[in-house]
């Protein structure tokens, strides 16, 4: 199990340290054969080497079976005129590794229903999986530039998709829905955007080939509303890159904190050291950013990073035993009342990042 560890900036390295501690405890119990190697990514890589994604980091990620990433970015590297930006590392890794499907499960823990800003009867029982297209759309389309035009400063971004890019991610949604409650909701803006009309057309073609799965289309603005009004109605939600980016931050509020949601980014690449076994390479990361407001203070919730490691054990290594042990340890720890600063209520004890991870690790045997 060769894993590239890219902590990045802000709370990234803090929450990854917790994930690593849990993986090491699992290694002892399940003999995972863990091999970890660290690399620079994001703002710290810009400081050290002038680029957000050094060649050595890309090679490290390529040569590993999976990559665990913390988060990148922060005010230090925020100058909008700068040509090197931490986020370039994320886009570069996704593109170079062909990671086109970003899986973001949203399943509020029953013990934390009260931590959500939404009413318990809305949040209870929610179990949805958002699949965000990750290597196309407006974050990659060209031209994307700022320039001087006849009316002064102007800027352009391009929302571009090929039918193949749409089909492969919608197919992932149908495949995963078949392992769940057999419903796919495709989200687009087909009343306005040509790219969305292509998206919908292709999604319908895939749906016609999968008649055992219930299918519906929703416009993204309506989805933004339904997601917090009737989130229990959704099973697998598939959408393009930018819509998925926005909707998943909104969905993060169902469980109550950005610090709880993991993600997996998958493509068709096989793992290196275990080639031929049908194991899929993946990049795993919490959905939150580098949270500069709380970095270095022990306030970060490590659960999203720890659950990202559990997704890695499940999706890349097929180690359902270890993944379930980790997920159950997280759930039991939260059920027992352990709360980091983002979750703590009146009268409850606040745990630091390392105290929370120690509490979870203690349940791993
Ligand atoms: N994948 C990534 O690396 C990624 C994703 C999003 C944003 N970013 C970058 O992160 C930086 C900060 O962005 P932002 O503030 O918009 O988003 P953010 O996700 O970093 O933080 C949003 C809010 O959620 C809180 N939060 C986030 N993670 C938390 C955790 N684990 N525990 C407790 N609270 C948590 C933060 O304190 C903040 O109040 C920016 O530079 C942005 O570009 C990176």
Q: If DSSP states are collapsed to H, E and C, what string results for the chain? A: CEEEEEEECCCHHHHHHHHHHHHHHHHHHHCCCCEEEECCCCHHHHHHHCCCCCHHHHHHHHHCCEEEEEECCCHHHCCCCCCCCCHHHHHHHHHHCCCCEEEEEECCCHHHHHHCCCCHHHHCCCCEEEEEECCCHHHCEEEEEEEEECCEEEEEEECCCCHHHHHHHHHHHHHHHHCCCCEEEEEECCCCCHHHHHHHHHHHHHHHCCCCCEEEEEEHHHHHHHHHHCHHHCCEEEECHHHHHHHHHHHCCCCCCHHHCEEEEEEEEECCCCCCCCCEEEEEEECCCCCCCCCCCCCCCCHHHHHHHHHHHHHCCCCHHHHHHHHHHHHHHHHCCCEECCCCCCCCCEECHHHHHHHHHHCCC
CB-based contact 205:168 (threshold 8 Å): no
Flag whether 144 is in a domain: yes
147 shares a domain with 57: no
Using pLDDT thresholds of 50, 70 and 90, give the confidence band for residue 278: low
Mean pLDDT of 61-67: 96
Closest by CA position to 15, among listed 193, 178, 257, 214 = 257
How many structural domains is the chain composed of? 2
Flag whether 113 is in a domain: no
Mean pLDDT of 206-229: 97
The answer to whether 161 is a known catalytic residue is: no
User: Phi then psi for 332, rounded to 5 degrees?
Assistant: -65, -35
Closest by CA position to 5, among listed 53, 51, 40 = 40
Flag whether 112 is in a domain: no
Domain carrying residue 245: 127-253
267 shares a domain with 323: yes
170 shares a domain with 149: yes
Flag whether 110 is in a domain: no
30 shares a domain with 64: yes
Q: What average pLDDT does the structure give for the chain? A: 94
Å from CA of 205 to ligand 1 middle: 37
139 shares a domain with 37: no
Mean pLDDT of 298-305: 97
268 shares a domain with 305: yes
The answer to whether 245 is a known catalytic residue is: yes
Give the residue from 237, 253, 269 where a domain finishes: 253
Asked if residue 259 has its Cβ within 6 Å of ligand 1, the reply is: yes
Å from CA of 321 to ligand 1 middle: 31
144 shares a domain with 94: no
Flag whether 222 is in a domain: yes
Closest by CA position to 353, among listed 345, 341, 364 = 341
Percent of the residues in the chain that have a pLDDT greater than 70, as a whole number: 98
Given this model, what pLDDT does residue 270 score?
78
Flag whether 119 is in a domain: no
285 shares a domain with 233: no
179 shares a domain with 246: yes
Closest by CA position to 39, among listed 10, 65, 19, 13 = 13
152 shares a domain with 198: yes
Among candidate residues 65, 189, 284, 342, the one labeled active-site is: 189
The answer to whether 76 is a known catalytic residue is: no
Percent of the residues in the chain that have a pLDDT greater than 90, as a whole number: 87
260 shares a domain with 248: no
Give the residue from 231, 253, 275 where a domain finishes: 253
Report pLDDT digits (tens) over 87-114.
999 989 999 999 999 999 999 988 888 8
Give the residue from 253, 275, 296 where a domain finishes: 253
CB-based contact 52:87 (threshold 8 Å): yes
Å from CA of 76 to ligand 1 middle: 14
Asked if residue 73 has its Cβ within 6 Å of ligand 1, the reply is: yes
Å from CA of 257 to ligand 1 middle: 11
User: Phi then psi for 36, rounded to 5 degrees?
Assistant: -115, 140
State which ligand 1 atom lies nearest to the alpha carbon of 300.
32
Flag whether 50 is in a domain: yes
Which of 72, 132, 291 for a ligand 1 pocket mutation test, highest count of atoms within 8 Å of Cβ? 291
**Token pair 């199990």 in the structure block, residue:** 1
Task: Provide the CATH number for the domain around residue 21.
Answer: 3.40.718.10
Flag whether 242 is in a domain: yes
154 shares a domain with 248: yes
Q: Say yes or no to pLDDT of 315 above 80.
A: yes
Given this model, what pLDDT does residue 274 score?
63
């Amino acid at each position: 199990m060769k894993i590239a560890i890219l902590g990045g900036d802000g709370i990234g390295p803090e929450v990854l340290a917790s994930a690593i501690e849990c993986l090491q405890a699992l290694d002892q119990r399940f003999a995972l054969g863990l091999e970890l190697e660290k690399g620079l990514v994001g703002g710290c890589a810009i400081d050290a080497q002038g680029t957000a994604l050094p060649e050595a980091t890309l090679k490290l990620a390529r040569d590993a079976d999976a990559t665990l990433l913390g988060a990148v970015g922060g005010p230090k590297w925020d100058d909008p005129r700068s040509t090197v930006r931490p986020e370039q590392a994320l886009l570069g890794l996704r593109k170079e590794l062909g990671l086109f499907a970003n899986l973001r499960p949203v399943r509020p823990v029953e013990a934390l229903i009260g931590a959500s800003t939404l009413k318990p009867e809305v949040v209870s029982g929610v179990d949805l999986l958002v699949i965000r297209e990750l290597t196309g759309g407006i974050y990659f389309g060209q031209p994307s530039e700022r320039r001087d035009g006849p009316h002064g400063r102007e800027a352009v971004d391009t929302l571009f998709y090929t039918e193949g890019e749409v089909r492969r991610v919608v197919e992932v949604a149908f495949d995963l829905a078949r392992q769940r409650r057999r419903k796919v909701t495709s989200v687009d803006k087909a009343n306005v955007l040509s790219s969305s009309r292509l998206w919908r057309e292709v999604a319908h073609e895939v749906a016609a080939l999968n008649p055992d799965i219930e299918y519906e289309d929703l416009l993204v603005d309506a989805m933004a509303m339904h997601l917090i009004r009737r989130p229990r109605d959704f099973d697998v939600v598939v959408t393009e890159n930018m819509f998925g980016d926005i909707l998943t931050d909104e969905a993060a509020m169902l469980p109550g904190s950005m610090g709880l949601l993991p993600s997996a980014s998958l493509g068709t690449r096989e793992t290196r050291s275990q080639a031929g076994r049908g194991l899929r390479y993946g990049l795993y990361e919490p959905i939150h950013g580098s949270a500069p407001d709380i970095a270095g203070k022990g306030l970060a919730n490590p659960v999203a990073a720890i659950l990202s490691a559990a997704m890695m054990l499940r999706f890349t290594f097929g180690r359902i035993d270890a993944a379930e042990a980790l997920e159950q340890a997280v759930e039991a720890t939260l059920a027992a009342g352990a709360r980091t600063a983002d979750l703590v209520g009146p009268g409850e004890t606040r745990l630091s990042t390392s105290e929370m991870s120690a509490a979870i690790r203690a349940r791993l045997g």
